[in-house]
Structure formats: C-alpha cells, structure tokens
Chains A and B, each alone.
Chain A
C-alpha cells in the first residue's frame, strides 16, 4: 500500500534536488515516525536507534543525487536503515536479541487516539504488541516491522534481505502465528473487520 506515496515521494525528491528544502522536510516528516519506530523495535535501545536514524538520513541526503527511481523511496530508505542495523549488530559483535532487555523503549505513547479511555486501550495494546514482537527471532521481526512500519511490499523486502519471496512470506506468517499465541485473543479478535 505504500505505493500510494511512491509517486509523491519521487516528486518530493525531485523538488528537493531542484533546490527546495521544504520538499525534503515533507519527505522527512512522512517517514520520521515509521522509520524511528522500525529502528527502535529492531535495536531496542533508544540511543542506538537515534544514531542509526541519523546515519540513515545522512546516507539518504548524500545518496539522493545518485538515487535512481528504481524502486520506491520508502524501500530505499528502509533498506538503508535495515542494513545499518545489520552492521550495527555485527560491529557490536553480539546478537542484539539476546543482549537487550525486552520491552525497552516502551516509554512511547500512543499517538492520536481520541479519548483518555481509548488512549489507555491503545497504549495497552501497543505494549502487548511490542513485548511480543521483541520475543520474535530477528529475521521474523525484521520482515514484520518492514511491512508494518514501512509498508514495504514483500517483493521489495525480499530484495532488501536478499532472499526468496517465499522465505519472506514464511517469516511473516510465522511471526503472526507467534504473536497471536502471545497476545490475548480478545484484544484483536472482536472488533476487527477486514474482510468479513
């Protein structure tokens, strides 16, 4: 669904390169929250997430001139962020998954929920979900977050992670299966209507 932004992203990139700093700001605003949430969930530590966030944008700024509109901007952006995380984990020569406490970065607040009650429900849900996501094996977590935060199409996730589409879909499905086991059923079963 991220394709809904793809054209306007490309327009903003061109406007920025033509000398309009406001275009860049719009691009930044569009991806600030999803990208940061993605990084925070992957490295689960605020300081590293902020470092990686800044690094990612610096690479974007210096790479934009050579950026051919081959894929979508969002895939490119999340791809850079993802590879940054991989490097980060390697440099730290440890598995981030084992090293960091689950549930870190939970100081986050739910965004634009309407009333205080709704806000509390959303906050609770968010905490459940984040705790559960933190328990996932890293490849599953990466796919899930790229999809949910970045809305990157699976075919592009497969390219970023350099593995077959079917593997990516398998990881996504296993992630969902595990999360469903970890999250209380009533928090999502009832009110969700997607197809029925």
Chain B
C-alpha cells in the first residue's frame, strides 16, 4: 500500500528486436555456462534473464558442494559407475544422458570456474591435515572421504565470476526481461525454433529475439500446489521467479516432456511450514555429519546400512563393509541398499526408546575441523546461508562450540507437510532430451533443472556447457530464419491483455495462483483418480477461458507475476494430463492411484507427452532409451574429447 509513482518509464507499446547466433533463455548456472560455451565456439550469443545475471538463479547466492566430479584426480569411482548407481537408485527413472554428462564433464567445469575466479581449493591452507582434504590438490571432499567424488566448494564466489567471464567474452546480456514464448518457423507448432519473445519487467517493453538456435535454461516449475499470498517469495525452495515459464512455453511450442506425473510430498520452504533451509537443526547435505542429540543431550547414534552402530565420528564418512561407495546429496532421498550411507537411527525408533523431543543438531563434540567446515564453510558458502544464517546467527550469539540448534518437524527434518501439499522436487519431470540435449523441436536445446530428472549445481553447469556446444554447432550450419509476424502479434495481444481489463473487478496474480494451488491439492493430490483428475482439468480450463480474461495488473512488475501464473496454470495442466496418461501406480515415480491397485514398477517405460494442434499426444519410451552411455557420449562428442 504505497503511494509511490511507478519509477520507470512505461514502454508497453515499444518493440526491440535483437539478433544472435545462439540465444540462451535464463541466466542461472546452466544459462551462464551455455552462453560461455557458445561464445567460446565463436558464436554471437545473447543471454536473456528475468532477474539480474550477476546473482540470479537457485545457485546465485552460493553453493557448498559439487556432486559427481568423477573425473577429479582423487576420485575412486568412474563416471559409468556413478551414473549407473543413479539410474539404479531410481529404478531407471533418471536422466542417463544428463547425469552421465555431469559425471564426465562436471570436473572440467569446476576447473573452468576456477579460471574465471571461483574458489574451489583450500588455498589459504585453513584445513591442512583434515581427513577430507587432499593436501596435494588442496581439494576438500564431502560425505564419502574414501571415494572422493563430491567436493566442498566456495560457491558464493562462482556466479559473479561467471558473470565477469560472460562480459569478457562479449556475450550480450539482457537482464530484467521475462521470456514469454518461443517463436517457431512460420508460426507452426513443433517447427524449428527461430527465437523467443520477452517483456521487460520494469518498463513492459516488448522484445523479439531472433536466433539460429536457442537453449532453455529457465529451471523447473513451482507454486503448483503451494502458495502463500503473504509470503510468495518463501513458497518454494527455488527463487520465486523460477516457476516453470520454460516448460509452459515449450508445451505451447510442441516440445516433449516426460515424468511430469511425478511429484513428492513437499519437503522445503513453503511459507510457514518449514524453517530457513540449512538454518535449522538437521544432519543432511550442508550439515552432514552433524551429531543429533535429544533434549537431555543424549546422542542419537549413527548406523551403517546394515544397522551397525558407528562409534567413531570418522566412520560417518566411510562406506560400510563390502560397500564400494555411498552417495549423499541433492538427488538422494531414500537411497537403495547399494549406495546407502551412514545415517542416524530412525526417528520412530528413537521415540520408542524414550528419547526426548525436541532434537538438536550438535557440533560441539565434533572434531574441530569437522565443526569448522560445517559452520563457517558449508554454512556460509551454501545458497542462502552466508548472510541470513552464518552472519546473522553469529551476530545474535550462536556459537557452534557451545550451542545446539533445534530440529523441527518430524524428526530432524525442518518441516512437516500434508500429503496433498506437493512439489516438483527430488528428480522431477521436465523436457525430454536426446544425446545433444536437443528436444524434438529443431534448433531447441535444454539444460540444467529444466531437463527431466535433473538436479544440482554441477549438473546444471555441465549440461549448460554441453548444450551450449551443441547449440553452437547447430548455429554454424543453419541459417537465421525470420520469425512469423502473426505469431508475434498474437503473443503481444496475450501478454498485454490484462492491462486493458477493468481494475475494479479485476483478479490479481495472487488470487489466481491461490485458486490453482487449491485446485491441484483437491484434484491432483497425493492419490490420483481418473474422475477427479478430469474435474481438475476442467476447473483449470475454466480459469483459462473465463478467469484469465478478467485478470489485471497495475504495473510491469505485477504483469510479469501474472504472466508467471498463466504459466503455472499451463504446467498444472501438463501435470494432470501426464497423470491421466499413467494408468497404474508407480512407486519409482511417487505416483499413487486410488483407482488401480496394481503397481506398475516392473514396467519400465517413460511416458513422453506433448501438445499438438490442441490435442495431447503421448508415446512410450523405454527408460534406457539412451543406450550405452560411454559409447554414445563419445560418438556425439568427438570434438570435445
């Protein structure tokens, strides 16, 4: 309720056209690395970002661990072993191509980022002699200290370093522009991608981007089931402007998606339910392997995968007897026995045995270097921790050698959600890709969290760079094609329509988002029924036909928030369509049907879904459609190897 005048010039009717060889959509981790790769390949690169590239995206503020650097000199696992473990852990429902790229090239990207100015080694010798440090390379490892494929890194330094490199390479960076649609040849759905449209988030100006090839790096959908009108910025784990615009425009353009029926009970960051990530007591990711104690100070034991109690703190970082390696981190929620690492005993068991709530994370008794590396390095370098957790808690008196930090929710997680409060989290669905990270649309590539079954910083950097290479290759041999006038005019009408509606009777972005979230909780919650899914779909169509024409925005900022919610509506429809297409429950996809008692887990097929001519088209693809990893990778990347 401010009385300020809108401070920027309003340019709703102005148009700007920018040409490039390679167009990168989204300037997060994947987008920056894609632009860098394409520019290094000699292409004229244009990068469009909704926020400010210097710190935007999920990893903009920081990142504390880099997973799957299988080719680093200290690693004892191969890219093949690691990718196979990831595939097996998800019964095959994982992106073999993108994770193989992560394992194979992630370490190269880390060295790249170091050259740009990012810090990846303990150059100050702060941790000399620590068991997690390799004194030769000064690399610091996390989790499995014997196999050494996950590195602890100083991620707060990364994004500004990439930003500097983009500028050095002469990439044309357009900040504060929301990409709203993809342009296709002759305006035909499914035809070659010739660019995109955008709208300035401060002035409302319209942009036409014309390019030979384009790369989608706009992360993944959010705010489908979860919404708070008071604190929309805290609804989800990822930044609030990352809500799946890329998926929505891809769907409209006829791109293929898979695993979109997968969702999990929410885990993180819905306003009110959870506590600041990495800022409450827990012993995962950043906080591995903190001790957990009960409210009498009694320690909850760690055990290996066979239930053997681990007496020494050092054992928390070693594979179990007979185990080659164990995995922890982003994509690992409920690990299978093969890769299951040390873990504190189950919550329910502790309650049975009389342990007293609440529990606390306790660093006081850890060896000093373990305490210092968790509180000070990991908490500090991890996203969203440097200022709000490390600096603020320290200022307020938190001392990790004296204080213990309370755990919330069930056990030592930081939240407890209702079954219908769902999220696209833990390797969710997304764009379907081939070995070039290309889509079914000619000239359109995808990288990072927008890919199906994707997650993590190193994965985003590696797939970004890879997609940048392949998009550059495409641009070298294809001509620039002009965009279709009618397609652009239709898009202009669509994006500006809310400004022309009646403000008094108008419906704002928050009201619409809230209605969509409630619809999804009601009709597409934990347990799916064909009948309910169909009602849900018709509700969403009603919103599309009758409510969208009544929406209103006061200024460009609210307009882009509204356009985001239109995209949330589109993504919700994709999710329901994908759910309707999967007829039988499937545990591996956390997909439960109430109207079918069978479990389909043995039937390892991906359902690939797209829209064509207003109709939904599906096809089935074997989960291992990508064939032999090493062989196919090498076939497609001779010039890189």
- Are A and B co-members of a single complex? no
Q: Which residues of A contact B (CB under 8 A)?
A: none
Q: Which residues of B contact A (CB under 8 A)?
A: none
